[in-house]
A and B are shown apart, each in its own frame.
Chain A
Amino acid sequence: MKQLNAIIESIGSTVLLAFNSGRYLKTLPRQFPRLIEQCYLIGYTTLPIVTILSFFIGSVLALQSGYSMQNFGAKQLIGTLVGMSMVRELGPVMVAILVTGRVGSAITAELASMKVYQEIDALETMNIPPERMLVMPRLVAVLFMMPVLASITNLCGWFGGALVCKYTAFIAVEPDAYFAALKRFMGAKDVWDGLIKAEVFGFAVILVSCSIGLNTRGGPREIGAAVTKAVVVSLILILVLDYFVTKVLI
Chain B
Amino acid sequence: MAGSTSLIAEKTFGVTIEKLNKSFDGVPVLKDISLEVKPGEIFVIMGPSGSGKSVLLRHVAGLEVPTSGSVHIGDFNPADPATRQQIHLALVFQAGALFNSLSVYDNLALYPREHRLGNEAQIRDRVMHALQILSLEKAVAQYPAELSGGMKKRVAIARALVMEPQLLLYDEPTSELDPVMSATIIEIIAALREHTAVTTIVVSHDRTLAMSIADRIAIIMDGRIRAIGGVADFEHPANPAIANFLNPTIDLKNPRFKQLENDHE
Which residues on A are within 8 Å of B, measured CB to CB? 30, 110, 113-114, 117-119, 121-122, 124-128, 133
Is B114's CB under 8 angstroms from A122's CB?
no
Kindly state the separation between the CA atoms of A110 and B100 in the bound complex, as whole angstroms: 10
Q: A126-B163, A127-B85 are in contact. Are A119 and B97 (CB under 8 A)?
A: yes
Among B87-95, B179-187, B206-214, B224-232, the stretch that binds chain A is B87-95
Is A122's CB under 8 angstroms from B97's CB?
yes
- Kindly identify which residue among B63, B89, B98 contacts A121, using a CB–CB cutoff of 8 Å: B63
Contact with A along B47-90 (1 / 0, CB 8 A): 00000000000100111000000000000000000001100111
Kindly state the separation between the CA atoms of A185 and B100 in the bound complex, as whole angstroms: 53
B99 at the A interface (CB under 8 A): yes
Is A118's CB under 8 angstroms from B110's CB?
no
B143 at the A interface (CB under 8 A): no
Is A126's CB under 8 angstroms from B93's CB?
no
Specify the main secondary structure of chain B where it touches its partner.
loop
Kindly state the separation between the CA atoms of A70 and B1 in the bound complex, as whole angstroms: 84
Is B100's CB under 8 angstroms from A117's CB?
yes
Residues of A near B63 (CB, < 8 A) are 121, 124-125
Q: Which 5 A-B pairs have the closest CB atoms?
A: A118-B97, A122-B97, A125-B91, A128-B114, A125-B61
- Kindly identify which residue among A110, A119, A125, A133 contacts B90, using a CB–CB cutoff of 8 Å: A125
Sample (20) of A-B pairs whose CB atoms are under 8 Å apart? A30-B116, A114-B99, A114-B100, A117-B95, A117-B97, A118-B97, A121-B61, A121-B63, A122-B91, A122-B97, A122-B98, A122-B99, A124-B62, A125-B62, A126-B90, A126-B110, A126-B111, A127-B115, A128-B115, A133-B114
Q: A125-B91, A126-B163 are in contact. Are A119 and B62 (CB under 8 A)?
A: no
Residues of B near A119 (CB, < 8 A) are 97-100
Work out how many contacts link A and B, with CB atoms closer than 8 A.
48
**A142 CB to nearest B CB, Å:** 19
Kindly state the separation between the CA atoms of A126 and B93 in the bound complex, as whole angstroms: 13
Residues of B near A114 (CB, < 8 A) are 99-100
Residue in A closest to B107 when the chains form the complex, CB atoms: A122
**B72 CB to nearest A CB, Å:** 16
Residue in B closest to A132 when the chains form the complex, CB atoms: B114
Give the residue among A118, A125, A127 with the most B Cβ atoms within 10 A: A125
Residues of B near A121 (CB, < 8 A) are 58, 61, 63, 91, 93, 97
Residues of B near A126 (CB, < 8 A) are 90, 110-111, 114, 163
Residues of B near A128 (CB, < 8 A) are 110-111, 114-115
Kindly state the separation between the CA atoms of A113 and B99 in the bound complex, as whole angstroms: 10
In the complex, chain B residues 101-121 whose Cβ is within 8 Å of any chain A Cβ = 101, 110-111, 114-116
Residues of B near A118 (CB, < 8 A) are 93, 95, 97
Residue in A closest to B116 when the chains form the complex, CB atoms: A30
Kindly state the separation between the CA atoms of A175 and B115 in the bound complex, as whole angstroms: 58
Residues of A near B91 (CB, < 8 A) are 121-122, 125
Q: A117-B95, A117-B100, A119-B100 are in contact. Are A125 and B89 (CB under 8 A)?
A: yes
Residue in B closest to A27 when the chains form the complex, CB atoms: B114
Residue in A closest to B93 when the chains form the complex, CB atoms: A118
Give the residue among B84, B100, B114 with the most A Cβ atoms within 10 A: B114
Kindly state the separation between the CA atoms of A203 and B157 in the bound complex, as whole angstroms: 38
Kindly state the separation between the CA atoms of A190 and B115 in the bound complex, as whole angstroms: 45
Residues of A near B58 (CB, < 8 A) are 121
**A146 CB to nearest B CB, Å:** 25
Residue in A closest to B91 when the chains form the complex, CB atoms: A125
Kindly state the separation between the CA atoms of A127 and B76 in the bound complex, as whole angstroms: 14
**A29 CB to nearest B CB, Å:** 12
Residue in A closest to B99 when the chains form the complex, CB atoms: A119
In the complex, chain B residues 124-167 whose Cβ is within 8 Å of any chain A Cβ = 163
Residue in A closest to B86 when the chains form the complex, CB atoms: A127
Kindly state the separation between the CA atoms of A124 and B58 in the bound complex, as whole angstroms: 11
Residues of A near B116 (CB, < 8 A) are 30
Residues of A near B62 (CB, < 8 A) are 124-125
Residues of A near B88 (CB, < 8 A) are 127
Residues of A near B95 (CB, < 8 A) are 117-118
